[in-house]
Structure 1
Amino acid sequence: MLLRTSLRSFFAHKGRMALSLIAVVLSVAFVSGTLVFSNTATSTFSKLFAATASDISVQPPKPADDEEPQAGDKPATVPAPLAQQVASVPGVKTAIGQVMVGNAILVNPATNKLVGPTSGAPTLVGNWTDTPRNPVKITSGHVPQNSGELVLDADTAKKAGLGIGDKVRVDNATGQHPYTIAGIATFTTTNPGAALAFLDTATAQQVLLGEQAYTSVEAFGDGSRSNDRLKADTLAELGSRYQVKTAAEQKADNTKAIGSGLDFMKYAMLGFAGISLIVGGFLIINTFSMLVAQRTREIGLLRAIGGSRRQVNGSVLVEALILGVLGSTLGVAVGLGVAVGLIKLMNAIGMDLKASDLEI
């Protein structure tokens, strides 16, 4: 009887219940959509970092806490001989000096337009290296063999309409440097939407760093030692002057950086959810107050035929439960749509996320 009465009352006031239902749906949709999107984006990048990270990475000293990086600052480096020193650590199979900077831009000299993302994902320029976990592989042309050649990633080349033999210019604080595309590289893992360009090592050092140095040394073990043991042995060899990070630490740092970059959107969407919650709360209270006031005679009749106060209260609470369960279920479904929309928005500004990889 209680359930039948609640259902009859629920469907007898479709208009008011629909407004309350919409309030619940919007609140839940904003929250679930935001969390699904942020988890999906973080998971996508985590997979990339996990698949490509070296066993240990030797990086420049950590800057002081009060040291603010400036736009024109020269990238921090480690000396070139450090690669041989790391390679001599027991358990290290190979150590490769890497140059990778994010303070250069790619330009199509024929149109003078930027090549690659203008916002969102970064443009990275570095040296071509063959590592056991290279995130890209040459699928057309060849690796850069002299100071005039450059390798461009396939996604960026496709978006810019460039191919083998076309010209690309690298602009940075040291000037404008023209190159010919000698190879096209395709991502072997998830493409985060970044534009990648590779020069030969000597040219990358001269043009991007201005010295014979590296931005990091990436080492890969021979399997005889754990990454933590490799880190400890490397620190024993080099001292505490440089940062030494295992693959897990590299993944955690990079994932944290990506998460921080997405926080602005996450908190903005959760702010909308909070507003929806407050407005929806007032709307639901008002709706049920009016419904109870309109049902005074019905409630009196239920009490007259033996219904207890608990049964009457239960009837109203069942209506609220139906509203909450239905609204939450629809809200989660709508939230998935919100997440897909956010993914498409991020793809439009340069990132490459796939809706099929949703992390619910």
Structure 2
Amino acid sequence: MQELKIIKSTTLKDKPEQVGDFGTIFTDHMFVLDYEEGKGWHNPVIEPYQPMLVDPASAILHYGQGIFEGMKAYKTNDGLVQLFRPRDNFLRLNRSAERLCIPQIDVDFVLECLNKLIELESEWIPTKEGTSLYIRPYIVATESFLGVRPSHKYKLFIILSPVGAYYPEGLKPVKILVEDKFVRAVAGGLGEAKTMANYAASLLAAQEAKSKGFSQVLWLDGVNLKYVEEVGTMNIFFKINGEIITPALNGSILPGITRDSVIKVLKSWGLTVNERKISIDEVVEAFDNELLEEAFGTGTAAVISPVGILQYKDKKMELKDFESDSIAHKLYDFITKLQYGKENDTFDWIKSLS
């Protein structure tokens, strides 16, 4: 791999006092890496954030061959910059790449380049509680051709955005609508890859849910519309009669980094997490029998989101107002303290910038 080139911007932006809506503000620089068949990944550069030039015939525009990731950088009280499980995110990027016929990246090299980018943009990392620097790596097919086959050219970008809470509700319970008409993915499809197509497939249902006052939709399996899968931007957990349950990864569910972290944390606390099929009927029955104790989502953007209302058809399941001793709150407190350097990292998840 060639040596990383750094081109500093000559016109720096004013840094905002407030981060505003999630993902609407971007830093001064970005990382770019090219791929061409026969040459491999090459030309690594940190350069000023700017519009990308795209040929009208670029493969990404016509056939959707693209993948992405999401992670965060945090600043501790003593000014240290920390990343949460960044290597796992890049390993998942490679798994998505394999599914989309995109060449594998050198994880160690890209991590090194990310560290350089964040060092350059460290003043953009907000310090207010609950804020962070969102990191968006993505790869798009850039070869100019009209034909259904894997591209021979790609670009990897990493852009940065200072952010606050993903949901306006913050840690307050969110309202989720169970989707019983549209489907997002099926086993054997693209559901387990973090690709643009999955999110495009979710937009209409999410838009309809928001028009009814809900934050997101909960997807059911694409074959029977029976088994719970995941929320639009999060994995889902239930606590039923003391049992913590999350849908098993089945090829149509994204293997979330936060999901995996939550499972590991709960097990370290001596709790059992069952990864298994769970039908929406089982959830409804548990609610009717007053056994549905908690429901919460997990994801990089929101970390933990307690579910306050779960609506399925005409059935409104209103869960209790979560107190500080709930599993959701304990998880949120523990994971965010890890991320901000306020909790001892016994899992070796935190990577500090040297």
Same fold (TM over 0.5): no
| Richer in strand (by share) | 2
TM-score by length of 2: 0.22
Q: Which has the higher contact order (CA 8 A, sep 6+)?
A: 1
| Richer in helix (by share) | 1
TM-score by length of 1: 0.21
Higher alpha-carbon Rg? 1
